[in-house]
Structure 1
Amino acid sequence: MLVLFAGIMTGANAQKERFKALFIYNFTKNIEWPPQVKSNHFIIGVVGNSDIAAELQTIAQTQKVGNQTIKVINGNSTDELEFCHLVFLSGNKTAQLPHLLTKLSGKQTLIITDGKNLAAKGSGISFVQDGDKLKFEICRRNIEKQGLKSSSALANLGIVVD
């Protein structure tokens, strides 16, 4: 019985990670990056969650961001990242958010976190769990601080914390 429950939980967790990866990809359609960073690959950095990185790798095999192919970089620390268009900081790495914000200040990088109230603490978008529903907080002010523009449609879909 315990093994069956663990299998169900693993499947549920995998599904949640897949949804987060799809959300992340769809966020790219609602953010405008400056022209000077729209060449070469669209680079997504993932800190601390190899499951989401794997899901994003799967998406990268068939999808693009605009005309750019997607390249996913996965690491355990924000120090392992160079320029990324988007960085996802997993829930178990949120202590690195202040360092990440300093490192990426004004670098045209969308910062996405996984946890309640993190958009109020500096990320542009943060996943939150509301019962069994996955939602996201959005702080347009933080997105604009990074030199990016977000669509009003994105704000309408999320929980605005500006």
Structure 2
Amino acid sequence: MLFSSFAFNASAQVRDYRFHTVFIYNFTKYIKWPKTYQSGDFVIGVLGNSPIIRELQKMAARKTAGMKRQRIIIKRFNNLTQINNCHILFIPSSKSSYLSTINQSYPRSPMLVITEKRGMAQLGSGINFVLRNGRWRFELNQNATTNRGLVVSRNLKRFAIPVMGR
């Protein structure tokens, strides 16, 4: 099953990042990375300190990523120069101002950039979590994912809010 629930009540977001974590895990199954990224560890990076790290670590302890069943590793990046070889980079809203610099510094890196602040998908984030009608959903910027060499499955696209952007 693609997702057990496609939208979460906003009150769940206030308490923790379970929504983000469930979706991020599912993204590992429905997005295809280039062959060189389909072996070894599957790295999910988080820019700065965010409560999502704890939820991602819980998930990584019991799940594997994608069809190749890669071990999931969670890394916290304190600054932009530490970002390297990650499959997914989560940028919390408090670090959203770094999106442009990240896109300029790593323009073709096969990295899914995920944000959680209004307008970020239009500015080049691959996926952006948004609150719509009191429920959490995700926007998909197909240009951003394609430019990074990622292939988003048709199933995932069906549940996304499509956004045009860089």
Structure of greater relative contact order (alpha carbons < 8 Å, 6+ residues apart): 2
Number of residue pairs matched by the alignment: 152
| Range with greater deviation from structure 2 (60-69 or 75-84) | 75-84
Q: TM-score, normalised by structure 1?
A: 0.87
For residue 131 of structure 2, give the secondary structure of its aligned residue in structure 1.
strand
1:91 aligns with 2:99: no
% identity of equivalent residues: 34
Corresponding residue for 1:5? none
What do the CA deviations read for 1:113-148 (whole angstroms, capped 9, x no partner)?
A: 111221111011001112421011101111000011
Q: CA deviation at 1:11?
A: 7.2
Give runs of aligned pairs for residues 48-127 of structure 1, distance below 5 A.
48-66=48-66, 67-127=69-129
| Residue identity matched to 2:18 | R
Structure 1 moving runs of 4+ over 4 Å: none
Shift of 1:74: 1.2
TM-score by length of 2: 0.85
Instruction: Identify the range of structure 1 (133-142 vs 75-84) with the bigger mean alpha-carbon deviation.
Output: 75-84
Which of the pair is proportionally richer in helix? 1
Distance 2:160 2:13 in 1: 22
Q: Is the 8 A contact 1:41 1:69 kept in 2?
A: yes
C-alpha distance in 2 between matches for 1:62 and 1:24: 14
> What is the identity, as a one-letter code, of the residue corresponding to 2:14?
N
Aligned equivalents of 1:12, 1:105: Cα separation in 2? 30
32-41 vs 75-84, which deviates more?
75-84
1:13 is aligned to: 14
Q: Which runs of 5+ in 2 are unaligned?
A: 1-10
2:136 maps to amino acid: L
CA RMSD of aligned residues (A): 1.7
Structure having the higher Rg: 1
Tell me if the contact between 1:111 and 1:123 (Cα under 8 Å) persists in the aligned partners: yes
Gaps of 5+ in 1: 1-9
Task: Tell me if the contact between 2:46 and 2:77 (Cα under 8 Å) persists in the aligned partners.
Answer: yes
